[in-house]
Chain A
């Protein structure tokens, strides 16, 4: 169980910093403050009748944490077998409402931590229409790259709470 921490230098984590990761060729970003740790691929216990994107649960130092495959969840092409050097980003959601949950998100690779001024973020942009508007906070520009910044809470709650028992296809 290794935790791979991306080097941020001397700058402490702030609300304007984002951890970026790759799903296929697209780069996405999440607020660094919500990221608890990054875990390398580990054995999962599948849950009965779970949707395709809910791969199962893992043991995170004694806590039972559900793991969602973001690529499947977002409906992107999946060429690789899960587990091929893929990485689990452990995030904390719901802290504001005191109903904190810890969830793992499977991504292809983790990139860097970037600082993004609010002015560099374009909001309300429809990113190819593939993602539900609620899930996208905006598009950021980093070194001429486009990074899709995602809203964690809606993604997590829709993935975990949506249904009870019956299998569903990804959105």
Chain B
């Protein structure tokens, strides 16, 4: 196996590890809420097991060791030897955090980490012995690399749950087993740890000594095991190696087994039990995957190893791991199939058009028109489908919130219920990934400042349990996310006062309620009387709004004193495409996002005057609207005709944009200028028109003066 394979495998492992961590967390959270069923427990156990195994293989030895301890505790829980209680779950969550830190290599001080890990490991160990039906400690397993071949005494404590079953496992590593980095001994040891084993060796595959290549695996084993595992549990042992061996697991009659050491006799495997026929290995291609649940059926497999254990809800989940933006994405096969179909149709239309061109002598104009209409149809369908591919459900952004709320409410001594709605709503992958931090921040804010502690709520006549609702909904062209709580509400008086003190708002200026609430987003602004490490430093909210604006979205705050606060975020469905209004300015074509346009006025019918200190204003609906002369502000070389005013609005701020005239409307693909150049004030990007020329897209926020303001006409 060469270096490229190793690098690729390692990247795969990291991806899968992160998913397993997410799975583990979700499962643990459910367990913490009291949902303790066999499926969840097994799922959680298997996730931990995978992390442990993979970790050892790829050199994450401390992480693997830690996970091993977690696995031991989880094993005790799932076999009933230990009950699932909050203390146990908390401990496991703590362990999981450290596992993640070790995986991402975020270690700043290895010595502290080591101590932390040692402490955690011993606490996990101790926890195994607690709260069990017999209070008996089952002892510690060996470290990840240990080869413990002594069989554990079976049946030491009467298990509360699963009965012991007998299985026959036929284990045939492929020739390249060692080369792939696996060691059959570890697997045998693992099986031995799970129950009582009787192992027999099959040396039928051994070549003569003279031709023996030590690096190749020629041996096979037959293991009879009596344990509390079901087939899945046994198959899990071979999870990481299933590509490189053949494993057949079959049930045996439950007859008592004598515990014993592996038989050294090099005899071919015979069939000792009446139930199991001598099992020929299945074709190598199917490997051990036959026994594994096919949960990932609707997910495009990266390799066999990666396709497993993906529960349905995260079938569409992107590689948007907690580590931040990632370069890969998981796509349901249906989306890919649809794309293939659409491309097929496009190819057909194209060949039909070619035929028309070939027979240009006898051109049938109607047919040409029809084919061109088909082409337009195909292209549009394909475009929609491709954009759909980048869409992921919001639930992947919501997934970390339950844990956050749980931990934070405990820390703050508040009782808070988190309600998530509309998780199936889909958003562009990049938008989604960039929304995670703002969402987290807004939730923290709500928990910290908005929701009151139980005593305060009670005295206000409220339910001591506060409620935080996150809901998402798609509405014509945009996705709306609402974060609302039933807490204190926003004290606008205090905000205004603070803003005046900080000089953000001049003394004589009056603001509407909405405008005061928007002050929360001002940089450096914070009304928190104390700075907790959760929030209060005043650097968060302005970044939140900027992040949302950068994505082309908007954020609004609504609030009622004593009743609660709700924050509404609307995000465009796509970062790349925008509905644009083409306008001419000084002979050049510009694009104005339609969403920002309120109305268009004719200059000659509009009263305009020059106000000192402000500039030119136009009369609009009883108000005076400052006017921006882009031709002037951009120093354009052409001669502006200045015949129309396009009224542009962002966040309640309005300005007039002076243009020559309006051209058409069209959907426009946004191409950032930063790719080869750099950001330009007033310009949101560029696009390519149908004649091949480049048109610049105006930034509505710059026009209205909200951000990076353009000057008003003099």
* A interface residues, Cβ below 8 angstroms from B: 43, 45-49, 56-59, 62-66, 101-103, 160-161, 164-165, 167
Contact = CB atoms under 8 A, between A and B. Distances in A.
B677 A66 contact: yes
A63 B676 contact: yes
B588 A45 contact: yes
Contacts of B459: none
A64 B635 contact: no
B696 interface: yes
Contact of A164 (B636, B675, B681, B686): B681
Contact of A57 (B634, B636, B694): B694
Contact of A45 (B675, B676, B681, B694): B694
Contact of A59 (B637, B678, B680, B694): B694
Nearest to B631: A48
Contacts of B678: 160-161, 164
A105 B498 CA distance: 53
Contact of A47 (B633, B672, B680): B680
A63 B675 contact: yes
Nearest to A156: B676
B678 to A, nearest CB: 6
A63 B671 CA distance: 8
A48 B677 contact: no
Contacts of B386: none
A164 B696 CA distance: 17
A12 B675 CA distance: 30
Interface of B: 588, 633-637, 671-673, 675-678, 680-683, 686, 688, 692-696
Given A48-B680, A48-B683, A101-B676, A59 B692 contact: yes
Given A47-B683, A57-B686, 14 more contacts: A45-B693, A46-B637, A48-B636, A48-B680, A49-B634, A62-B671, A62-B688, A64-B677, A64-B688, A101-B676, A102-B676, A160-B677, A160-B678, A164-B681
Contacts of B636: 46, 48
Contacts of B637: 46
A159 B692 CA distance: 26
A43 B693 contact: yes
B681 A64 contact: no
B7 to A, nearest CB: 17
Which A-B residue pairs are the 8 nearest by beta carbons?
A48-B634, A45-B694, A66-B677, A165-B681, A64-B686, A101-B676, A64-B671, A59-B694
Contacts of B673: 57, 64
Nearest to B677: A66
B696 A45 contact: yes
Contacts, number: 66
A167 B635 contact: yes
A64 B692 CA distance: 11
Contacts of B692: 59
Contacts of B634: 48-49
Nearest to B681: A165
A64 B694 contact: yes
A103 B680 CA distance: 16
A62 B675 CA distance: 12
Contacts of B635: 48-49, 167
A65 B674 CA distance: 10
Given A48-B636, A48-B680, A48-B682, A64 B675 contact: yes
Contact of A48 (B633, B693, B694, B695): B633
Contacts of A161: 678
A66 B681 CA distance: 16
Contacts of B675: 63-64, 101
Contacts of B677: 47, 57, 64, 66, 101, 160
A47 B671 CA distance: 14
28 contacts: A45-B588, A45-B695, A46-B636, A46-B637, A47-B677, A47-B680, A48-B633, A48-B681, A48-B682, A49-B634, A49-B635, A49-B681, A56-B694, A57-B694, A59-B688, A59-B693, A59-B694, A62-B688, A63-B671, A64-B671, A64-B672, A64-B676, A64-B686, A66-B676, A66-B677, A103-B676, A160-B678, A164-B681
Nearest to B685: A64
Nearest to A56: B694
A49 B314 CA distance: 48
Nearest to A65: B676
B680 A46 contact: no
A160 B703 CA distance: 24
Contacts of B688: 59, 62, 64
Contacts of B695: 45
A110 to B, nearest CB: 21
A77 B163 CA distance: 94
Nearest to A167: B635
A58 B634 CA distance: 18
B655 to A, nearest CB: 17
A53 to B, nearest CB: 13
Contacts of A101: 675-677
B588 A46 contact: yes
Given A46-B636, A48-B633, A63-B675, A165 B680 contact: yes
Contacts of A66: 676-677
A121 B688 CA distance: 43
A59 B669 CA distance: 13
A102 B672 CA distance: 13
Contacts of B671: 62-64
A40 B608 CA distance: 46
Nearest to A162: B678
Contacts of A46: 588, 636-637
A49 B672 CA distance: 18
User: Which of A57, A62, A63, A103 is packed against the most chain B CB atoms within 10 Å?
Assistant: A57
B683 A45 contact: no
Nearest to B630: A48
Nearest to A44: B694
A43 B588 CA distance: 12
Contacts of A47: 677, 680, 683, 696
A106 B683 CA distance: 24
A165 B682 CA distance: 10
Contacts of A48: 633-636, 680-683, 696
A103 B238 CA distance: 54
Contacts of A43: 693
Nearest to B637: A46
Nearest to A101: B676
B636 to A, nearest CB: 7
Contacts of A165: 680-681
B380 to A, nearest CB: 19
Contacts of B686: 45, 57, 64
User: Which of B635, B675, B677, B688 is packed against the most chain A CB atoms within 10 Å?
Assistant: B677
A56 B634 CA distance: 13
Contacts of A57: 673, 677, 686, 694
A48 B699 CA distance: 13
Nearest to B694: A45
User: Which of A43, A45, A62 is packed against the most chain B CB atoms within 10 Å?
Assistant: A45
